[in-house]
Chains A and B, each alone.
Chain A
Amino acid sequence: MASIFTHEFNTPIYKGKTSFNTGLYIDGKFVDGSDKTTIDIINPATGKVITKVAEATPKDVDIAVAAAHKAFETTWGLNAGGAERSRLLGKLARLMEEHQQELAAIEALDNGKTFTWAMDVDTTFAIDTIRYYAGWADKIHGQVQETDERKLSYTRHEPIGVVGQIIPWNFPLLMMSWKLGPALATGNCVILKPSEFTPLTAIRMCELVHEAGFPPGSVNLLTGYGNTVGSAISSHMKIDKVAFTGSTLVGRKIMEAAAKTNLKDITLELGGKSPNIIFDDADVDQAVNWAAHGIYWNHGQACSAGSRIFVQSGIYDEFLEKFTEKSRSLKVGDPFALDSFQGPQVSKAQYDRIMGYIQSGKDQGATVHLGGDRNGTEGYYINPTIFTDTTPDMKIVQEEIFGPVGVVIKFEDDEDVIRQANDTVFGLASAVFSQNITRALTTAHRLKAGTAWVNCVNQLHANVPFGGFKQSGIGRELGEYALHNYTAVKSVQVNLGHVM
């Protein structure tokens, strides 16, 4: 009998209660894992266990896939029309809205992001994403190609069937909505593995999914580890598509597993080392504020983080001074304190990893201009950190740190900075600050990245596509583009007059 997690929030910023089942969610029911094992969920602000949740095994993946196929053949898939799918997604968005504070509080407790950010961005954007795809659900249009009277040829954009989705721990609820939205709008059944670090909002969402009326088996949630559950999903012979967001290292394994098994289609959203280029003719004060948002938002735990900050020599000193001031002013503290900007990193493993990079920066001779150390003695807090005097080959310049660590690099020449910005295996995002229209747009167009922000950073919208060039990924999420990830195109050609 899967257990219930109950928590009373009694904090300066939020008072409320939550209570929900911590089992796996399969075929419309909460159940224990096949091996009856559990996973401890840690509060990164304290390092202490919040609760245990049921752990899934590959056997549970098989059970879930069978339930999903059954639902696809009977109550979902082509058996539920667009209007019906639209209605259910709309209901889900409304339920999320009704429980927004509760979801934000659970997210802050589990992930460590502040309640304020969880309310203002994570949950708000997640609700918008579900609402956005509710609007697409009855507009999954195929195409009619030919007007020759001897032939009717048209395409149907069918749901693929049972799709596997593996999401990360940095924006748990948001990542779930990016995946569920287009997959459910197009009629697929979902097997979703949340991060074993941050499953709580995903589990709570299953209750809302259930309440919204999605048929049993259409959405299944299996909390478990990557090398067991994640691997089982990516190599499953009866899952026809897998979508993964996470590290480039694991992304490779997913694609390899797909190739070796049933050639399932894949979409991947992987890492980044995104450049933020600030020209002499930028609005410096705005550039400072956006640069801070670029690297410190979500404690630097964003794939799109503007972690390489290129500043043109004419404004370098002014920028560095103001940027340091701004970074110093950001309050690091408890996620539920009234004025916290930045909470702890998500786990000890991540904390150690980031501190390792900071150490490598010091060892390789970069200057720690600000921070570079732990904040406090409890929990995984790291102070906003700025490195200067780097060289391109340093680890902190090459590799994705995924923490509140920015590298500020002086540049002279437009051509040279574009070359430096593009000189990476990654290509997820980029930003340009300039008030000159020709320079701003030309630079944006020349940056080899899936997103180019101009005079802003880290702005995401449900209707704008997002994804990586090069080793940052394959495919695009969000916008109309995401629908293609979850549809199987079938051409039907009806002969009305060609005689053999």
Chain B
Amino acid sequence: MTPTFTHEFNTPVYKGKSLFSTGLYINGKFVEGSDGTTIDVINPTTGKITTKVAEATSKDVDIAVDAAQKAFDTTWGLNVGGAGRAKMLGKLAQLMEEHQQELSALESLNNGKTFSWAMNADIPIAIETIRYYAGWADKIHGQVQETDEKKLTYSRHEPIGVVGQIIPWNFPLVMMTWKIGPALATGNCIVMKPSEFTPLTALRMCELIQEAGFPPGVFNLLTGYGSTVGAAIASHMKIEKIAFTGSTLVGRKVMEAAAKSNLKNVTLELGGKNANIICNDADLDQAVSWAVHGSYWNHGQACTAGSRIFVQSGIYDEFLAKFTEKSRALKASKIWDTYGPDSYQGPQVSKNQFDRIMGFIQSGKDQGATVVLGGDRNGTEGYFINPTIFTDTTPDMKIVQEEIFGPVGVVIKFEDEEDVVQQANDSVFGLAAAVFSQNITRALTIAHRLKAGTAWVNCVNQIHPNVPFGGFKQSGIGRELGEYALANYTAVKAVQVNLGYVM
């Protein structure tokens, strides 16, 4: 009998109650971890413990994989047609909608993002993603290649089998849906590890998944650490595919483990140090507003954060003044409490992250950059950092090269289009980029020349379930979302039926 977590929300923006099991979810049941150990889940606004959840070990991974394989061979996989999968995913989306406020509140409590952002961005995107893939489930089309009457050749797009999925803490529920949507739509069984920092919405989702009717073993959730559970998944001999979102450093380890074990296929969504290029002929006020969104959305904890803001010299001073003003306004009125009705930015997710970001800020100061705004902690409780702007940087500085993952923007003046494209592309990363210009030729030419998986034009950080997302270079392998994600979870089998060739 696993423990449950009960919480009463009594806040200006939300009043309600949540109650759910905090065990591992294996084969349709909530269970304790094999070692009986637990993980403390911390509230980043206070630094205090919210609850304990069961901790999985590599032994639990084996148990979950067996359950998943059994389900794949009997009640899921090729045993359930597309319509059946579509119906269940549709039901799941519906249940998420019914519990939208509760899920938003849990996400906010666990991650620190504001209730408002969770309600208006995270949970709607998550619901839309599940609904989107429900629509694909009965449209997993193979191909017929030949019309020669002596041969029938066709390809089946089969589910792979048992897939491993490891998701991060920055958008816990959204990241979960990006993974389970296409994997379930194509008929796979899942062994998922949420972040040990932010497992709560994932746990709540298990109950919804069960309620939606997915057979036991189809979805399994194991909360645990990367070095134990994550490593066990990446090197498991019976997991045929792994999908990972997280840091480039860990991404390498995942791919290496896959190579050394059973050559499982990998998709990776890794880090970014994304360029946001603002040309003289941009709509300046809009560029400022979007740049704020690019830098501070989710407290800068987005792989797509527009963290290098290149501003052309003609509008540099005006931009910097307005951008600083706008960023300062965020601080003044909106960062105080995750559940406050005017909150924009909550705390960073953990002490670890807080220390890491403050370390980068210190390095910026040490290496001689100018702090135009912020650069310090907000308050004395919880992991709040003020919106921060650096200028007068040089390309080799750590704050310009490395991914900070916090509310820290670097503003860089540029003269020349050629030069800024070259600077923007001069990175090992290639996840996303943005261009602001009202000139069609300039806007699209630059967008096309940026070496990144997504190029936003006159906007930033816009995500849609039907638009593919992923990185060039060391930002990743493969694409998520859109029709493209289906290819990550299908095994192509060519069947060639001889109807007339005589040997």
Contacts and interface: CB of A to CB of B under 8 A. Distances in A.
B464 A452 contact: no
B161 to A, nearest CB: 9
Interface of A: 78, 143, 145-146, 151, 153, 155-156, 240, 248, 251-256, 258-260, 262-263, 265, 268, 270, 286, 289-290, 293, 425, 440-441, 444-445, 449-456, 459, 461, 463-467, 469-471, 473-476, 479-481, 484, 488-495, 498-500
A495 B437 CA distance: 11
B231 to A, nearest CB: 14
B252 A459 contact: no
Interface string B413-452: 0000000000000001000000000000001100110001
A449 B493 CA distance: 7
A398 B275 CA distance: 52
B146 to A, nearest CB: 7
Contacts of B315: none
B459 interface: yes
Given A256-B256, A450-B493, A451-B496, A493 B454 contact: yes
Contact of A262 (B444, B459, B468, B474): B474
A268, A293, A453: most-surrounded residue (chain B CB, <10 A) = A453
B270 interface: yes
A494 B447 CA distance: 9
B466 A455 contact: no
A464 B494 contact: yes
B498 A489 contact: no
A309 to B, nearest CB: 15
Given A256-B256, A263-B252, A461-B153, A454 B496 contact: yes
A456 B498 contact: yes
Interface in B464-503: 464, 466-470, 472-474, 476-479, 482-484, 487, 491-498, 501-503
B263 A156 contact: no
Interface stretch (B105-113, B203-211, B285-293, B391-399): B285-293
Contacts of A445: 78, 156, 493, 495
Given A463-B145, A492-B447, A492-B455, A455 B497 contact: yes
Nearest to A444: B495
A491 B453 contact: yes
Interface in B132-163: 143, 145-146, 151, 153, 155-156
B498 A491 contact: no
A78 B447 CA distance: 14
A476 B484 CA distance: 15
A453 B498 contact: yes
A240 B428 CA distance: 11
A259 B464 contact: no
A477 to B, nearest CB: 11
A491 B467 contact: yes
Contact of A481 (B256, B447, B492): B492
Given A450-B493, A498-B459, 4 more contacts: A453-B498, A463-B146, A481-B492, A494-B457
Given A155-B468, A259-B252, A479-B145, A456 B494 contact: no
B240 A495 contact: no
Contacts of B469: 491
Contact of A248 (B263, B452, B467): B263
A470 B262 CA distance: 7
A263 B270 contact: yes
Max count, chain B CB within 10 A of own CB: residue among A78, A466, A481: A481
State the main secondary structure of chain B at its contact with A: mixed
B270 A256 contact: no
B251 interface: yes
A450 B492 contact: yes
A498 B458 CA distance: 9
B482 to A, nearest CB: 7
A151 B463 CA distance: 12
For the complex of A and B, the 10 pairs showing the least CB-CB separation, nearest first, are A255-B259, A259-B255, A456-B498, A495-B459, A289-B503, A500-B289, A455-B498, A495-B458, A259-B256, A494-B457
Interface of B: 78, 143, 145-146, 151, 153, 155-156, 240, 248, 251-256, 258-260, 262-263, 265, 268, 270, 286, 289-290, 293, 428, 443-444, 447-448, 452-459, 462, 464, 466-470, 472-474, 476-479, 482-484, 487, 491-498, 501-503
Contact of A493 (B260, B293, B462, B492): B462
A492 B253 CA distance: 30
B503 A461 contact: no
Given A265-B477, A444-B495, A452-B494, A490 B452 contact: yes
A252 B263 contact: yes
Contact of B262 (A151, A425, A476): A425
A467 B476 CA distance: 23
Given A258-B255, A452-B496, A455-B497, A489 B145 contact: no
A95 B251 CA distance: 44
A255 B263 contact: yes
A38 B381 CA distance: 69
Contacts of B468: 155, 489, 491
Given A454-B496, A499-B286, A263 B268 contact: yes
B312 to A, nearest CB: 19
B466 to A, nearest CB: 5
Contacts of B444: 492, 494
B492 A456 contact: no
Given A256-B259, A456-B498, A464 B492 contact: no
Nearest to B501: A456
Given A153-B467, A451-B494, A452-B494, A240 B457 contact: no
Contacts of B448: 78, 156, 490, 492
Nearest to A266: B477
Given A240-B473, A259-B259, A286 B502 contact: yes
A454 B497 contact: yes
Contact of A146 (B146, B248, B464): B464
Contacts of A465: 155, 492, 494
A459 B498 contact: yes
A193 B311 CA distance: 44
B263 A453 contact: no
Contacts of A258: 255, 259
A263 B248 contact: yes
Contacts of A78: 448
Nearest to B440: A494
B153 A464 contact: yes
Nearest to A293: B503
Given A145-B467, A248-B263, A451-B496, A489 B146 contact: no
A490 B263 contact: no
A382 B459 CA distance: 67
